[in-house]
Amino acid sequence: MGYIELMGISKSYNKQSNVLNGIDLTIEKGEFFVLVGPSGSGKSTLLRMIAGLEEISGGTLKISGEIVNHLPPKNRNLSMVFQNYALYPHLSVEQNILFGLHAKKIDKEIQRKRLEETAEMMGLSELLKRKPRELSGGQRQRVALARAVVSEAPLCLMDEPLSNLDAKLRANMRIEIRRLQKRLGLTMVYVTHDQVEAMTMGDRIMVLNDGIIQQVGEPIELYNKPANLFVATFIGSPKMNLGKAVLKDSKLLIENALEVPLEQMEVPTSLQNRDLVIGLRAEHMPHGSEQHQIQKVEIVNVEHLGNETLISFEVGTELWTAKWLGQWLVQVGDIVPIHISVENMCFFDADTGCLIQEAAFSQKQEVVSK
């Protein structure tokens, strides 16, 4: 039994089509669980249903073994951090942090002790008398986090809390939130549309699209073994390169433009006589230094990132990207050798979009890890 259990959860407005469809999910105690998906996928709605801010249309929600479908938020023993911080502008930082404890009539000595500990932990000790308008975006976010932490609720829900911050601050806050969660042993459910946040923060990730669960698993599992084409393109940056493919003799023909030898690979029956889509990660197409398995491609775009170089080229009508470590002095229009191997490809069914066979290298990694 998990700490949070969702059984057949659905949500509809005015009894129209469902925003969420039959969500079955278990979140363990002390887990950092991330809900990720594009805008409109239903992830914030699901979080608000766990919080008690949205009514559940169908199914059962349990927290710590208790059915909470009709419990108000104040009785669910949780805290929540919103995207817009939700600070009271007329109150000081100290008053904002203690607002929930004051409303619950917690003893003032306990309030003071919790405030001092939390403010020191969040680096807010020098800012307690300031008003929110006198704080930066990062400081306001820390106040919102402190308000959640000071409640000492075992469950913390976060709805895109970093989306209003700049890139550098977002990276720092990711680390702070993760450290805080581990230090306090919180069960955290975190909503984001940013797959980098999901990959770097979550113990497990649930990918949601159009109100339907696409895949649930550890970050590296979703990256190496995406359940379908949606997950393949949503998880990972740059996204997985995709191309329609057919098996032809002892070669794989991709987008009617690129022929890749099958080498010594024994073709499974699951791949024969069907329309395929292959997926290949950018880092699995290194610069070709040997004659074996080399393709010559024309560069259509180059991104120099300092520690790595992104090379884009066309495969039929598709635009693919390769990631090369280091600094490569190449330009648009250059013809470069690139190493493309079937071993690094995931195979999907072209009709259903579902994964048929994961890349051979990830299978080997599993064997090593075991």
103: CATH: 3.40.50.300
Which tokens belong to 124? 């807010």
In terms of domains, do 216 and 360 share one? no
SS3 letters across the chain: CCCEEEEEEEEECCCCCEEEEEEEEEECCCCEEEEECCCCCCHHHHHHHHHCCCCCCEEEEEECCEECCCCCHHHCCEEEECCCCCCCCCCCHHHHHHHHHHHCCCCHHHHHHHHHHHHHHHCCHHHCCCCHHHCCHHHHHHHHHHHHHHCCCCEEEEECCCCCCCHHHHHHHHHHHHHHHHHHCCEEEEEECCHHHHHHHCCEEEEEECCEEEEEECHHHHHHCCCEHHHHHHCCCCCCEEEEEEEECCEEEECCCEEEECCCCCCCHHHCCCCEEEEECHHHCCECCCCCCEEEEEEEEEEECCCEEEEEEEECCEEEEEEEECCCCCCCCCEEEEECCHHHCEEEECCCCEEEECCHHHHHHHHHHC
> What is the count of structural domains for the chain?
2
In terms of domains, do 224 and 242 share one? no
Which tokens belong to 1? 């039994």
In terms of domains, do 94 and 224 share one? yes
Check if the beta carbon of residue 3 is closer than 8 Å to that of residue 188.
no
Spatial distance between the Cα atoms of 188 and 158, rounded to a whole number of angstroms = 8
In terms of domains, do 222 and 278 share one? no
In terms of domains, do 218 and 156 share one? yes
Which tokens belong to 64? 């710590």
| 107 backbone dihedrals φ, ψ, rounded to 5° | -50, 135
Check if the beta carbon of residue 33 is closer than 8 Å to that of residue 204.
yes
In terms of domains, do 107 and 253 share one? no
In terms of domains, do 48 and 143 share one? yes
- Amino acid occupying residue 269: T
The last residue of one of the domains, among 202, 229, 256, is 229
In terms of domains, do 209 and 277 share one? no
Burial of residue 87, with CB atoms counted within 10 A of its CB: 0-12 exposed, 13-18 middle, 19 or more buried? buried
Spatial distance between the Cα atoms of 213 and 222, rounded to a whole number of angstroms = 13
Contacts of 364 (CB under 8 A, 6+ apart): none
How high is the pLDDT of residue 105? 86
Check if the beta carbon of residue 56 is closer than 8 Å to that of residue 49.
yes
In terms of domains, do 80 and 203 share one? yes
The CATH number linked to 319 is 2.40.50.140
- Amino acid occupying residue 352: T
Expressed as residue numbers, the domain containing 186 is 4-229
How high is the pLDDT of residue 364? 52
SS3 letters across 122-160: HCCHHHCCCCHHHCCHHHHHHHHHHHHHHCCCCEEEEEC
Contacts of 90 (CB under 8 A, 6+ apart): 131
Q: At what angle do helices 137-150 and 93-103 cross, to 10 degrees?
A: 20
The last residue of one of the domains, among 192, 209, 229, is 229
In terms of domains, do 32 and 97 share one? yes
Contacts of 112 (CB under 8 A, 6+ apart): none
Which tokens belong to 49? 């249903």
Q: What is the largest CA-CA distance in the chain?
A: 79
How high is the pLDDT of residue 262? 80
Low-confidence ranges of the chain (pLDDT < 50): 367-370
Find, among 81, 87, 277, the residue nearest to 181 by Cα. Answer: 81
In terms of domains, do 175 and 255 share one? no
How high is the pLDDT of residue 270? 73
In terms of domains, do 288 and 254 share one? yes
Spatial distance between the Cα atoms of 181 and 162, rounded to a whole number of angstroms = 15
The last residue of one of the domains, among 229, 260, 275, is 229
